[in-house]
């Protein structure tokens, strides 16, 4: 999600998997996050530096260097497949209903412009970190011989006047493999 200023609050808008996110999915270099062994075998619990949260990711995922995209504070991914997580944070000084309405409108606009045939689903759900607004998108990136389908699953939280957007993404061909991984990781998020 990319912050967008408007009126009294900022809302993060869904990212198009552009250069910054793609670079994050490819150029992973392990950096100094606090890492502790997770409860789930084959998973690691991470406490990103200077962030009030923990989450779990598969052991084989690597923590990346933060891309220069506005609002992105943490990236991780599976370098072989290109599956990735990016965490963006932006101020949001409103309540749940305007928050979800703005995310709904932004996702429809951004992904609809990218691909008029995009499939976009929304739902609110409660996970360990609290109430999340989930956005699930299947859309085409690029045109002609460069076109490919992408799968995005974003969990958006309001916490202490900020929006936290955990955006998981992979190739649509890998959706069956990574959708459950994204769900397990999102359910492990905890605010500290």
**Model confidence over 45-69: pLDDT tens digits?**
999 989 999 999 999 999 987 666 8
Contact 75, 65 (CB under 8 A): yes
As a whole number, the mean pLDDT across the chain is 82
Mean pLDDT of 108-126: 95
Mean pLDDT of 166-173: 97
Element containing residue 79 per DSSP (H, E)? none
Contact 109, 139 (CB under 8 A): no
Contact 106, 11 (CB under 8 A): yes
Cα dihedral 112→115→121→126 (10° resolution): -80
Contact 150, 170 (CB under 8 A): yes
What domains does the chain contain, in order, with CATH numbers?
A: 2-191 (3.40.1000.10)
């Amino acid at each position: 999600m990319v912050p967008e200023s408007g009126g009294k609050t900022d809302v993060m808008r869904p990212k198009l998997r552009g250069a910054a996110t793609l670079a994050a999915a490819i150029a992973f270099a392990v950096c100094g996050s606090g890492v502790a062994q997770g409860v789930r075998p084959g998973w690691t619990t991470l406490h990103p530096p200077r962030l009030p949260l923990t989450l779990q990711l598969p052991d084989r995922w690597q923590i990346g260097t933060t891309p220069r995209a506005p609002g992105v504070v943490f990236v991780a991914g599976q370098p072989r497949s290109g599956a990735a997580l990016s965490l963006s944070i932006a101020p949001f000084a409103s309540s749940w209903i305007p928050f979800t309405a703005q995310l709904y409108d932004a996702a429809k606009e951004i992904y609809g412009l990218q691909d008029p045939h995009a499939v976009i689903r929304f739902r609110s759900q409660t996970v360990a970190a609290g109430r999340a607004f989930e956005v699930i998108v299947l859309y085409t990136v690029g045109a002609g011989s460069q076109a490919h389908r992408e799968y995005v699953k974003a969990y958006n939280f309001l916490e202490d006047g900020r929006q936290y957007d955990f955006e998981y993404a992979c190739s649509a061909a890998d959706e069956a493999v990574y959708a459950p991984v994204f769900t397990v990781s999102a359910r492990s998020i905890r605010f500290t």
